[in-house]
Amino acid sequence: MTQAHDQLVPVPDAAVAGTSCTLEQYREMYGRSIEDPHGFWLKQAQRLNWVAPPTRVGDWSFDPVRINWFADGTLNICFNAVDRHVNAGRGEDIALIFEPDDPVADVRKLTYAQLLEEVVRMAGTLLRMGVAKGDRVTIYMPMTIEGVVAMLACARIGAIHSVVFGGFSPDAIAGRIEDCASDWVICADEGLRGAKRIPLKANVDAALKKVSVRGVLVVRHTGGEIDMTEGRDHWYHELSQGVPAECPCVTMNAEDPLFILYTSGSTGKPKGVLHTTGGYAVWTETTFRYVFDYRAGEIYWCTADIGWVTGHSYIVYGPLQNGATALIFEGVPNYPEHDRFWRIVDKHKVAILYTAPTAIRALMREGDDWVTRHDLSSLRLLGSVGEPINPEAWRWYRDVVGKSRVPVVDTWWQTETGGVMITTLPGAHAMKPGSAGRPFFGIRPQIVDNEGKVLADEDKNVAAEGNLCITASWPGQARTVYGDHDRFVQTYFSHYKGKYFTGDGCRRDGDGYYWITGRVDDVINVSGHRMGTAEVESALVLHEKVSEAAVVGYPHDIKGQGIYCYVTLKAGEEPDDDLARELRNWVRTEIGPIASPDHIQFTPALPKTRSGKIMRRILRKIAEDDYGSLGDTSTLADPSLVDGLIAGRKNR
Ligand code: WTA
């Protein structure tokens, strides 16, 4: 099982000094978290401020599926992220630093006291608009301070936020508004990415032609021209005039919903993953604290967007509950030039950088000069998330960016897990390039084969490769799919009874390190964004000229995986480059730019079994340019089709 790159990179000395967790402590704490989860999590929970401290801890079952944590506790997560720091005399600490898209535009810094003022103003404005506890509020915002403030303001008044990434189309927004019956939208006039304007309000207007809401709160950001609908749309700077200077935090039960976040699965439309308040608060506070080993005064920068779970847990709730200083960046890594990230690290003296392999690979390709011309000596820790990181990119990240002196944490987790599940801890674990590492406190990974036979359990030190399950609940686990608990049960708990199935393949080596090998379902990971192949297929077949479509992932140098579409046209339609372009744009408008197909291959038919099932395995192999192992094609209704598909692929 040992592979060439499967070697231990020792913990740098600098990481051990002052660490919150050494290897010995990790072992002791991990052991305790498994043997006595009640005592362990009750102790972690004490770092938070509770209105009524919990006496109950994990109360859950995976069969039937029912998950509760800290269920008799009450608290408000916004209070924990903002107010309590101010109350404790840390109001002058910097909470957020905003680095705009335009590198010469003004940086904005907000202390915790100022953040509190902003959140109170937004919360008061939401109340004035009519938002009530339990209402769903759709947030469609650029990466600005107001995006973070909008989330915290919802949490403050007990409204459930549903953040929709700014790269999603009007149709995608409408679908998400409809699914959770959201009555309210918070958006900005426009966003900025690499000097391009993103028409956020116009997209919301287009979405609201299909579904209706009671109110839209519009934050002025670029000052661009937008339309306002009388009675429905309100400018934030107008409606917030004269709102009370105080807005108390609503006391929430630990199991009251905090947010919904839509994520792609292997079938159907995106699911509204639901997270609740208390467990998520404890989980994000604890994981941030130990994984990033945060030290007072440091600048922490997570390059994700608040539209993804990484932004929720590690731009907003994790760092702010820890009283950290978090940098938020509106722009993109290559604007105005390929050194934007390194400029920012230098300019703000960033100590902890948390980004995605796709960004690392894209920047690596531009050459080391962009990096080495900047002073990156402030960096103390590097993090990676979103997809498996190839050892080459890992080494570049550590050696060129981190000058071989800082640890890299490769954090494996999911929207559904709320926070980091498998990672090395910076002062505790030697690293292996390409391996996420070891389970976080309380996490019990298990590797099973397709039939459910257990191949490796965390407490038995064996090597194995198979499908990754988690056998015990943890505080940050998603509780349900909003409005569809059956789908939650079906998706995550039906493959292997009594276990949470992650959808990921995984190898565990003899040292107990976990290596995520990628999705084993029909989900592809494009630039760290989860995309259901079924979603892209449904978008394609909505086009009037398309008869059928099958979409698969294939290895892509920068994005990790690219989107490969096989398309058959209706009788009489002619395939050509113009149509391919048109279809690509079509998918962009249906789902959003993030779902843009990388390649469209027209084919007279799709390979199917005699019972009519599309043979995706074959399509995947062909897209991967791997024809030697197509396997048995004799079950195909028309085996001759395969030659044509291969010829088409080679012509690319
Ligand atoms: C993948 C993002 C390998 C994995 C936090 C997972 C990773 C999916 C890693 C979740 C990693 C995330 N190594 N694979 N460090 N991190 N993944 O819900 O396939 O957007 O199931 O959450 O990303 O994506 P999601």
Distance 413 CA to ligand 1 centre (A): 5
Q: Give the DSSP H/E element, type plus range, for residue 328.
A: strand 325-329
User: Residue range 542-565: average pLDDT?
Assistant: 96
In the prediction, which pLDDT does 2 show? 43
* Span 478-492, pLDDT tens digits: 999 999 999 999 999
CA distance 550 to 530: 17
Q: Give the DSSP H/E element, type plus range, for residue 486.
A: helix 485-493
User: Residue range 154-172: average pLDDT?
Assistant: 97
Closest atom of ligand 1 relative to the 384 alpha carbon: 15
* Span 428-466, pLDDT tens digits: 999 999 999 999 999 999 999 999 999 999 888 899 999
The structure tokens listed for 598 are: 């990388």
Pick the CATH number of 13-507 from 3.40.50.12780, 3.40.50.300, 3.40.718.10, 3.40.30.10: 3.40.50.12780
DSSP character for 603? -
User: For residues 191 and 198, is the Cβ–Cβ distance under 8 A?
Assistant: yes
Q: Which of these, 55, 88, 96, 80, lies nearest to 282 by C-alpha position?
A: 80
* Span 504-547, pLDDT tens digits: 999 999 999 999 999 999 999 999 999 999 999 999 999 999 99
CATH class label, 527-648: alpha beta
Closest atom of ligand 1 relative to the 310 alpha carbon: 5
Half-sphere exposure of 308 (CA within 13 A, CB side): 20
Token match 């028309």: residue?
638
What ipTM goes with this model? 0.99
Phi and psi, residue 129, nearest 5°: -70, -25
User: Residue range 313-319: average pLDDT?
Assistant: 98
DSSP character for 594? G
Q: Give the DSSP H/E element, type plus range, for residue 508.
A: strand 500-508
Binding-site residue ranges for CoA = 310, 334, 527, 588
List residues bridging with 630 in a β-sheet. none
* Span 197-207, pLDDT tens digits: 999 999 999 99
User: For residues 445 and 514, is the Cβ–Cβ distance under 8 A?
Assistant: yes
Query: Within 6 Å (CB) of ligand 1, which residues are found?
Result: 263, 308-310, 384-388, 410-415, 436, 502-504, 516, 519, 525, 530
The DSSP secondary structure of 46-72, one letter per residue, reads TTS--SB--S--EEEEETTEEEEESTT
Atom 25 in ligand 1: which residue has the minimum CA distance?
A: 414
Distance 192 CA to ligand 1 centre (A): 26
* Residues in contact with 384: Cβ distance below 8 Å, sequence separation at least 6, in sequence order: 354, 355, 356, 357, 360, 394, 397, 408, 409, 410, 411
Closest atom of ligand 1 relative to the 502 alpha carbon: 21
Q: Is the pLDDT of residue 309 over 80?
A: yes
Atom 7 in ligand 1: which residue has the minimum CA distance?
A: 387
In the prediction, which pLDDT does 1 show? 40
The amino acid occupying position 427 is: G
Binding-site residue ranges = 310, 334, 386-388, 410-415, 504, 519, 527, 530, 541, 543, 546, 588
CA distance 76 to 84: 11
Angle between helix axes 577-590 and 533-541 (nearest 10 degrees) is: 120
Distance 602 CA to ligand 1 centre (A): 31
Atom 5 in ligand 1: which residue has the minimum CA distance?
A: 414
Atom 13 in ligand 1: which residue has the minimum CA distance?
A: 388
Long-range contacts of range 34-38, CB-CB < 8 Å, 24 or more positions apart?
A: 34/442, 34/444, 34/459, 37/442, 37/472
* Span 588-627, pLDDT tens digits: 999 999 999 999 999 999 999 888 888 888 999 999 988 8
Q: Is the pLDDT of residue 11 over 50?
A: yes
Token match 């807005």: residue?
247
Angle between helix axes 200-207 and 170-179 (nearest 10 degrees) is: 60
Half-sphere exposure of 283 (CA within 13 A, CB side): 29
Token match 């069969």: residue?
63
* Span 60-112, pLDDT tens digits: 999 999 999 999 999 999 999 999 999 999 999 999 999 999 999 999 999 99
Token match 């050194």: residue?
339
Atom 22 in ligand 1: which residue has the minimum CA distance?
A: 414
Q: Is the pLDDT of residue 156 over 70?
A: yes
CA distance 567 to 132: 46
Distance 158 CA to ligand 1 centre (A): 29
Closest atom of ligand 1 relative to the 410 alpha carbon: 15
* Span 381-431, pLDDT tens digits: 999 999 999 999 999 999 999 999 999 999 999 999 999 999 999 999 999
Token match 């990230």: residue?
341
Closest atom of ligand 1 relative to the 503 alpha carbon: 21
User: Residue range 558-567: average pLDDT?
Assistant: 96
Token match 């990033």: residue?
292
Distance 388 CA to ligand 1 centre (A): 7
**Candidate from 312, 504, 594 with most ligand 1 atoms within 8 A of CB, to mutate:** 504
Atom 6 in ligand 1: which residue has the minimum CA distance?
A: 414
User: Residue range 54-58: average pLDDT?
Assistant: 98
In the prediction, which pLDDT does 613 show? 86
Distance 561 CA to ligand 1 centre (A): 13
User: For residues 573 and 603, is the Cβ–Cβ distance under 8 A?
Assistant: no
CA distance 508 to 511: 8
Closest atom of ligand 1 relative to the 388 alpha carbon: 3
In the prediction, which pLDDT does 6 show? 65
Beta strands in 154-295 (DSSP E): 160-163, 184-188, 191-193, 196-198, 215-219, 233-235, 252-253, 257-263, 271-276
Distance 642 CA to ligand 1 centre (A): 33
Atom 3 in ligand 1: which residue has the minimum CA distance?
A: 388
| Domain boundaries of the chain, sorted by first residue | 13-507, 527-648
Mean pLDDT of the chain: 96
Q: 620-636 b/e with 16+ CB inside 10 Å = b?
A: bbbbeeeeeebeebeeb
In the prediction, which pLDDT does 629 show? 77
In the prediction, which pLDDT does 296 show? 95
* Span 265-290, pLDDT tens digits: 888 889 999 999 999 999 999 999 99
Distance 276 CA to ligand 1 centre (A): 21
Half-sphere exposure of 466 (CA within 13 A, CB side): 21
Binding-site residue ranges for ATP = 386-388, 410-415, 504, 519, 530
Distance 414 CA to ligand 1 centre (A): 5
User: For residues 92 and 111, is the Cβ–Cβ distance under 8 A?
Assistant: yes
CA distance 196 to 325: 28
